[in-house]
Amino acid sequence: MVLVVDVGNTNATFGVYDGKELVTTFRLMSKTPRTSDEYGVLITEMLNKNQIAIKSITGVIVASVVPNIMHSLTGGIRRYVNEKILTVGAGVKTGIKIVTENPKEIGCDRVVDAVAAYELYGGPVLVIDYGTATTYDLVTADGCFAAGITAPGIRISAKALWDGTAKLPEIEIKKPASILAQETISSMQAGLVYGQIGQTEYIIQRVKKETGYDNLKVVATGGLGRIIAEETDMIQEYNSSLTLEGLRIIYEKNNK
């Protein structure tokens, strides 16, 4: 079995694959400072609770956008789980070519999502990740990471509303019954959700116009991506495990 780890700005998501089957997933907060021993104990406890024997983990792959936790995280994994850790970065085989002006600027999480979308759905494909930021990444028909668009995520936008105003409350992010809101909470929900839908549809249209890709596939992922994907027919696929799938695919490419 392979342990895949996606370290984001808010959470670290762990998945265990038995071949191509995702057996289990769990999360730990990535903002909380921890020692390597703390990470090791927490990870082994979660594996045990999900009935995954530590000895069955034959390899580990990690992609991280939070460099300052990598020393303690990988140290904990090496000591408590498995010493064989592949870290996504320069020199790792991905199967796609980054042709942007500065490839080193592209976050490894975006590369992993692009790999998964291209391998699973083919190209050209636009990958939308509704995470801390909302990102739109274009992979061409021949597997080149050609362009990326970055916008504030839904939660960042929501936090800006209630942190930057005196009277607007913290709210649950969900689609209201109608865009014609008549009170504060549904008014905020309407602006956040329908605003994100509008942004999504405009960016997809603009990408199609500038690339000429009328056959562009659009794949979404990320915690709040399902809400948006269900409200527009311009997104063809929603895959909540896209990043984990990408990590599995990259691990296989590097361990044939």
Residues in Cβ contact with 36 at an 8 Å cutoff, skipping those fewer than 6 apart: 71, 72, 73, 75, 76, 79
Rounded to whole angstroms, how far apart are CA atoms 231 and 234? 9
User: What tokens does 106 get?
Assistant: 């592209």
- Residue 113 is a catalytic residue: no
User: What tokens does 57 get?
Assistant: 């983990």
β-strands 133-139, 144-152 pairing: antiparallel
Tell me which of 109, 113, 129, 137 is the catalytic residue.
109
CB atoms within 10 A of CB 95: 12
User: What tokens does 137 get?
Assistant: 């990444």
In single-letter form, the type of residue at position 23 comes to V
User: What tokens does 230 get?
Assistant: 């269900």
Q: Which residues are catalytic?
A: 109
